Amino acid sequence: MEQVYIWVKDIFLVIISLTFFQILIPDSKMDKYIRFIFSLVILAIIAEPVIVLVKGL
C-alpha cells in the first residue's frame, strides 16, 4: 500500500507543478509542443507501476 501512496503523491506533485509551468511559460509558437511533452510526462508517471510490475515478472 505504501508504494501506491507514493505513486499517487507523485501524480499529484507532477500534475500540480506542470500546471504551474503551463501557466507561467510565455505564449509562443512552441506552446503546443510543450503541452504535448508535459502530457507525455504525466502518461509516464501514471504508467510507472505497470512498468515496474512487468519488469519484476
Q: Restricting to residues 1-20, name those near another protein by CB under 8 A.
A: 1, 4-5, 8, 11-12, 15-16, 19-20
The Cα–Cα gap between 11 and 8 comes to 5
The Cα–Cα gap between 23 and 34 comes to 12
- Under the binding rule (CB under 8 A), the answer on residue 24 touching another protein is yes
Is residue 49 a contact partner of residue 15, using CB atoms and an 8 Å limit? Answer: no
CB 8, min distance to another protein, A: 5
Q: What is the contact surface with another protein in residues (CB under 8 A)?
A: 1, 4-5, 8, 11-12, 15-16, 19-20, 23-24, 39, 42, 46
